[in-house]
Amino acid sequence: MKYELTARNFRPYVRNTLQGFVDIHFDRAGILLKECTYHVGDGKSWIGLPGKPQLVEGQVRKDGNGKIMYVPVVELTTGEAREAFRRDAVAAVERIVATADA
C-alpha cells in the first residue's frame, strides 16, 4: 500500500535521545498520529508512536526508578511496516526541522 506522510507541529524538547514531539499525518488516509516522539542517538533516528500510561487499580504504574510506564496504543505489526514507517516518518520530520532551522 502506497502512502504519503507529512510531519506537522514539531515541538523541540531535548532530553537524552528525545529531540521533540511531532504529529504524523497519513495524507491519503486522513489519519493523524498526535504526540509522536522524535529521537536521535547512536547514529540512528526513529519515531516513537503515541502511548498511554499503564494503570493498575486506577494508579499510574511506575518502574523501579519512579518513571511512568507506558503501553502502546498504535502498533505496526510487521518488521517491513515498522522500517517503512521509520524511514518515511523520520524523513518527514527532518524536512520540517531543516525548514525551521533555515
pLDDT band at 32 (very low <50, low <70, confident <90, very high): very high
Could you tell me the three cell numbers for 17? 535521545
Give the E-state strand segments of the chain in sequence order.
5-15, 18-26, 31-41, 44-48, 51-53, 55-56, 59-60, 70-72
**Rounded mean pLDDT of 2-26?**
94
On whether the CB atoms of residues 3 and 22 are closer than 8 A, the answer is no
Domain ranges, residue 65 = 5-101
Reference 46, options 9, 102, 92, 13; nearest CA is: 92
Greater confidence, 3 or 57? 57
Give the CATH number, domain containing residue 18: 3.30.1120.40
Confidence at residue 99, expressed as pLDDT on a 0 to 100 scale: 82
d(CA 58, CA 76): 28
| CA 84/CA 77 separation, integer angstroms | 12
Say yes or no to pLDDT of 101 above 90.
no
| Count of domains observed in the chain | 1
Rounded to whole angstroms, how far apart are CA atoms 39 and 15? Answer: 9
Whole-prediction pTM: 0.86
pLDDT per residue over 34-92, tens digit each? 999 999 999 999 999 999 999 999 999 999 999 999 999 999 999 999 999 999 999 99
Residue type, 50: P
